């Protein structure tokens, strides 16, 4: 990584202002050579009517972290990243605390990227497993 981890995290979190990520209180918390991790609080604002985490909120968290990872790891300035396909399996409910999504690259093409994104709770138990395909568009 050319920029420091702290600078990249600060930039990712700054991009969240006035977006869905800010609405969902998503915060980028870690970047390694191969992964990007973000967390989201599980509160009533992201619950479905019966009081557990809405699957759509988990998917929004996963797409946010995967798209940010594409932008970071492609290391190009004049690109826009878009999610073009996403699939999620929700395997466990959660009512409170935090969920964490960690994006790991499975395929790093110049145009398309494939991401493996487990969403876990604070005990590292799997909540959802997400597969995301992103596309890199030249500005």
The catalytic site residues sit at 63
- Which neighbouring-strand residues pair with 35? 104
62: nearest Cα among 29, 94, 86: 86
128: nearest Cα among 82, 40, 62, 49: 62
The count of other CB atoms within 10 Å of the CB of residue 3 is: 13
What's the Rg (C-alpha) of the chain?
14
């Amino acid at each position: 990584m050319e920029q420091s981890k702290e600078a990249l995290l600060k930039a990712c979190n700054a991009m969240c202002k006035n977006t869905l990520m800010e609405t969902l209180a998503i915060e980028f918390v870690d970047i390694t050579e191969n992964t990007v991790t973000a967390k989201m609080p599980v509160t009533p604002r992201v619950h479905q009517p019966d009081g557990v985490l809405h699957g759509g909120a988990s998917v929004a968290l996963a797409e946010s972290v995967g798209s940010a990872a594409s932008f970071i790891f492609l290391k190009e300035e004049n690109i826009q990243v878009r999610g073009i396909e996403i699939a999620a399996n929700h395997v466990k409910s959660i009512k409170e605390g935090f969920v964490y999504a960690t994006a790991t690259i499975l395929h790093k093409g110049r145009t398309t990227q494939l991401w493996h994104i487990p969403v876990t709770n604070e005990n590292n138990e799997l909540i959802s497993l997400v597969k995301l395909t992103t596309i890199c568009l030249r500005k």
